Amino acid sequence: YILAGVGKSTSLAKIAYYLQSNQCNPLLAACDTFRSGAVEQLSVHASCLNLPLYHQGYAKDPSAVAKAAINKATEDGNDVVLVDTAGRMQNNVPLMKALAKLVTETSPDLVLFVCEALVGNDGMDQLTMFQKALTMGGHTRPIDGIVLTKFDTVSDKVGAALTLTHLTGVPIAFCGTGQKYNHLKPLSVPFVIQSLFTS
C-alpha cells in the first residue's frame, strides 16, 4: 500500500518472482480499480512471470475484488495472493478509507508499505498517516514491513531509511535495486553502516 508512482506494481511483481523462486505458487490480484492502465500493467507482469492474474476491470470495490481473488486462489491451489492496490496520497481520505476497508475485510497475513528510498523525512509522515488510516476500518495490526524502491540510486543517503524503521519499529523487508524481477534484495546492514561512516 503506497503512494502513486514509486514502483508499487513492479515491486509486487518482484515479490511474486521471489516467491516463485522459493517454490510458492502466487496469484496476482489487480485491485487497483482506480488508475487507468493499472490492470493492464499487472497483466504484463503476470504474463512475463507465467502467473495467474485475477481482475474485474475498473470502477469496482477493491475489497470485493480482493476477496474474490482469495476465493479463486483457494479453488485453484495458489498458496499466496498478492494484492495490488491503488497508489494514494496519505491525505486522500476516500482512498485511505477504501484501503482500511480492504485490509479489514480480507485480513491479510502481511501488509507492506512501499516507498522510494529517496523519499527523505517525508517518508515518516507518509508511513505514520498510513498507519493511522488503517485503524479507521477497525484494523488494529500495523503495517508489517517496508519495501524501499530505487535503493540503487541513494548512494550514501541511507539515513532516512534508518530513521523510517527506527522510529516506527517497522522493518525493511526488501530493497528494490533495479528494473529486473530479480533486483529485489534484503537490506544490507554492512552497506548501510559503511555508507553512514563514509558520508
For each successive 10 residues of the chain (199 residues), what is the average pLDDT?
Answer: 66 96 97 90 97 96 96 98 82 78 91 81 76 72 85 68 80 91 89 73
From the list 193, 195, 174, the residue with the least C-alpha distance to 185 is: 174
Q: Which residues pair with 147 in a beta bridge?
A: 114, 174
**Confidence (pLDDT) at 154:** 67
DSSP secondary structure code for residue 149 in this structure: E
Q: How far apart are CA 166 and CA 186, in angstroms?
A: 17
Residue corresponding to grid cell 514491513: 145
Taking CA atoms, 17 is separated from 13, 103, 146, 177, in Å, by 6, 23, 18, 14
CB 137 within 8 A of CB 110: no
Residue type, 59: A
Q: How far apart are CA 25 and CA 27, in angstroms?
A: 7
**Confidence (pLDDT) at 156:** 55
